[in-house]
Amino acid sequence: MGNSCKVYKQMKKFTIDYVKDYVFNFGYECLTKHYINCHQKMKMKCPQGHIYFVRFDVFKNMKQRCPECHRLKSIKYTKKEVSKIINQCRYKWISGNLKQSTYSKLELECDNKHKFVVRLDCFLSGTRCSICSNKKAGLKRRGENHSNWQGGISCEPYCDVWLDYEFKESIKERDNYMCLNPYCFKQSNRLSIHHIDYNKKNCHPKNLITLCTSCNSFANFNREWHKLWYQILMNNRYEYQY
């Protein structure tokens, strides 16, 4: 048990790639090059371009965002001022009444003719057309440009037995239909089957473990640690040899 605790202690520490990917999902950019621990203040850039410092655990757990954008939310804008800001960003105001609050919902149209509804405070904080943003993000974070690029192994085909529904159900039944990661954060109730050595062609039962979708996703980081960690768990539980 001592070895498994040691492995998990190493595994649980976030990496700078994890931090950058996490804040990127909210439109932020982490400008700090190295992650030391949760007490470290990270240099962040918000979607509006404001630079500020915040601890990653505060950003992640307490949802603390850019203080300058938060300040801007309390400012009351006139219809003329809002129209000017929207036009400067190359957007068109389609509909939506401007109330005495930055929480007013407006229907806008981007220069690519995509229509969407957004709150004024969100637009002022950097929220833009989701269709255009997703296309732009996809080009930046796709394939070899992604921090977790593993040489294209995610595109490799699965073993033939993977198409057998009963086979996969037998793995979940063996594991009592529960996530076998003892340190699961309980963020998802959905179950998936994880290939411990990340080889999709290796569908031997000892290479498969039932995880929730959250733990399965988290296993894409620090792969060597996760591989060893789950092999130890399976050895302790089923006496599988690796």
Q: Is 121 within 8 Å of 102 (Cβ atoms)? A: yes
How far is the CA of 111 from the CAs of 52, 151, 167, 201, 211, in angstroms?
30, 36, 50, 46, 43
- Is it the case that residue 166 has pLDDT exceeding 70? yes
- Is it the case that residue 134 has pLDDT exceeding 90? no
Q: Is 147 within 8 Å of 21 (Cβ atoms)? A: yes
Chain segment 145-154, per-residue pLDDT in tens? 555 455 544 4
Question: Mean pLDDT of all residues in the chain?
Answer: 79
pTM: 0.41
Six-digit token pair at 92?
């068109």
Strand order through the sheet with 29-30? 29-30, 41-45, 51-55
- Is it the case that residue 164 has pLDDT exceeding 70? yes
The conformation of residue 206, written as its DSSP 8-state character, comes to G
The conformation of residue 221, written as its DSSP 8-state character, comes to S
Chain segment 209-226, per-residue pLDDT in tens? 999 988 888 888 888 888
